[in-house]
Chains A and B, each alone.
Chain A
């Protein structure tokens, strides 16, 4: 949550500076790069935090209308799918970062695009950890209703 706040505050400040420097006819070109960095990291970190808080968008809350073993099975199934996706983020996201991330550069700083691509495996690690936490807690104490 704190990191989400840091990200949104970060790009609010950089967009503000971007407007001001442009109006003063002294634009700082690197500000747009920093803005997108805050923005993209904010999305992936926020997605992981939302997983922990059950805050994501859901199509239906079928599981909440169930009780006992049926609910446990459905909740576990949903978490295992999320865990699978998170591990895909870690593995394929790392491959993508190492393979394609160093072939392209960001302008004007000439930083490899990998510096942004790495947000995906980072998000995968966080989502996997939070999902495992939910599975363990849910197994012991039952699953909480969605937000």
Chain B
């Protein structure tokens, strides 16, 4: 069999088994093992590829950022952040819709998990929004869209996986994700203000209420400073920043906010232990898939097609990749997509001299958008399930919101200087700058 047929067979088997109800990780592994049988590669050596996929120190950050989200949610520390969001913005038109977006921005800064964000919002603000007469489809669509920011605003699990597998600076990706994340956030606020339901107009919070809310939320809001401050100051790696955030929550936040929670801590540790294994076994499977794809020279062929179609124009290459990833993100989860397609991305990034951090943030933003697109929009699926509305209604309500993501993606592609400003300023070496031999500042590529 030719390489092309084997690649087609592997992709077909994965999607066929996946859509018949085989778990994603097992569908990927089954397709890889079947195709390996037609090659000279030994099946036993594919087990090494599975292992190599997760034997990466940077991936240790994934469980810690999941644990931060789980602990914050379970101990109800997040309710203080919701109160602060309500005090800040609850009085404007579509108040609760604005609160959803603002809370997601805060929460994205402490947790890298969209799933945790959807769970918190659907259970806490979702019922209030229903009582105020918001359309259930709109609630699910807005919560799902706002939750995607967890993958953009640092710390982001997608950025950790992208950086670890693509050998790109995770700190640089974290910082480059801030501008697209805020663009999505402000875009959702503008959309809710002009096109969303009015909701019930409330009185502006008094200064006393606002200062009380700020005081209440101050402990959890230190977490982003710990994480980013630790990484940018060179004190911690992203993994260590994650564990320091966990210790801060367990030792300081929870005793101050909810002492009774400690009885649940062992359960939540066990639950997070289970939760982190799910994306990571998928990463292991996807890295074996990616290895086999590279062995069959798939990335060279596909990147050749894209490069020739785009005449090596970096912007056009990124647009074509966005198109590819919008389609891919509709059918498979973001994490296996990153790993499976990483060889293609790396090939194109190198050949077209695109900044790897810029390419990374464009891909992450596109895959974050994939979390709300059918048929496999996992955030939208979860939000519709939690808010008790059909996926179809939530999907219809989410269509107009796509415009926000299209604008954010276009801005991220066409204005790299704005997107890369933060990493260039705080972590110059992450975007290819090098120290000036004169000793003053850095010299950066254009």
Q: List residues of chain A with CB under 8 Å of any chain B CB.
A: 1-9, 11-12, 15-16, 18-19, 32, 35-36, 39-40, 42-47, 49-51, 53, 55-63, 74-75, 77-78, 81-82, 84-85, 88-89, 92-93, 95-96, 99-100, 116-117, 119-120
Contact = CB atoms under 8 A, between A and B. Distances in A.
B24 A59 contact: yes
Interface residues of B, number: 60
* Consensus secondary structure, chain B interface: helix
Contacts of A117: 47-48, 51
Contact of B30 (A53, A55, A84): A84
Interface stretch (B38-46, B156-164, B291-299, B313-321): B38-46
B307 interface: no
Interface in B255-274: 266, 269-274
A55 B19 CA distance: 16
Contact of A85 (B33, B67, B247): B33
A5 B15 contact: no
Q: Which 9 A-B pairs have the closest CB atoms?
A: A46-B277, A4-B273, A5-B270, A56-B23, A59-B18, A47-B281, A8-B273, A95-B44, A96-B47
A2 B274 contact: no
A80 to B, nearest CB: 9
Nearest to A6: B273
A60 B19 contact: yes
Interface string B273-288: 1111111111010000
Given A78-B20, A88-B33, A116-B51, A53 B274 contact: yes
B181 to A, nearest CB: 24
Given A85-B30, A92-B47, A117-B47, A56 B21 contact: no
Nearest to B247: A16
6 contacts: A35-B60, A46-B278, A47-B25, A56-B26, A82-B22, A82-B23
B42 to A, nearest CB: 8
